[in-house]
Amino acid sequence: MSTNLSKIPVAPPSDVYLRRLLRATDVHALEALLTATGMFAPHEVEVALELVHDFLSRGELSGYWFTVAEDDAGRVVGYTAIGPIPCTVASYDIYWIAVQPDCQGCGIGRRLMEEAEERIRAAGGARVFIDTSGRAQYAPTRAFYERCGYRVEATLCDFYAPGDDKVVYGKVL
């Protein structure tokens, strides 16, 4: 899949754009974004950044694709990390999606999700999966996935820790 350097407008707010080019300068901004959400433990942020570093060192050979949402001032306000699921024919994962807390509810998350799905379709993908926690803290996240048309495919009890289920969402494109 080729990298698209053009900015794709997001509405609202109209001063936020999506780019498919991940830059080395995004690393600290993405770490700050993930931390600011309050949703991810430090070890989870480390895992997210491992994907970023893998992509920056190997490019698309890493198997990860990124979309970054930024405002006109260049502030990173959201991002997604997606990729094909190894050993499947047309299934993809949305590994990470995050939006700055002060930008949540403005349509950025939905536009990032739509962009991820567009990229997956263009690559021949037919199914998308996304995992999250079953803890109460993640109820807004699960509601967002459901508003985007995702349905629970599986719940793995006590997957992350006792009392912390893994909820797998899926969507047919």
Quick one: pLDDT at residue 54? 97
Quick one: pLDDT at residue 31? 98
| Domain edges within the chain | 8-125, 130-173
**pLDDT score of 1 more than 60:** no
Sort 37 into a burial class: Cβ within 10 Å, 0-12 / 13-18 / 19+: middle
Strand partners, 151: 170
Work out the average pLDDT over 109-127: 97
Which alpha helices (DSSP H) does 9-107 contain, by range? 26-36, 42-58
Confidence band (pLDDT; 50, 70, 90) for 9? very low
The larger pLDDT score, comparing residue 43 to residue 4, is at 43
Strand partners, 172: 127
Quick one: pLDDT at residue 13? 54
Q: Which CATH superfamily is domain 8-125 in?
A: Gcn5-related N-acetyltransferase (GNAT) (3.40.630.30)
Question: pLDDT for 127-171, tens place per residue?
Answer: 999 999 999 999 999 999 999 999 999 999 999 999 999 999 999
**pLDDT score of 11 more than 90:** no
Quick one: pLDDT at residue 15? 85
The larger pLDDT score, comparing residue 2 to residue 169, is at 169
Work out the average pLDDT over 82-96: 97
Quick one: pLDDT at residue 6? 46
Quick one: pLDDT at residue 10? 46
Could you tell me how many helices (H) and strands (E) the chain has, helices first?
Answer: 4, 8
CA 93 vs. chain centroid, Å, equals 9
The larger pLDDT score, comparing residue 73 to residue 134, is at 134
User: What is the reported pTM?
Assistant: 0.88
Quick one: pLDDT at residue 2? 40
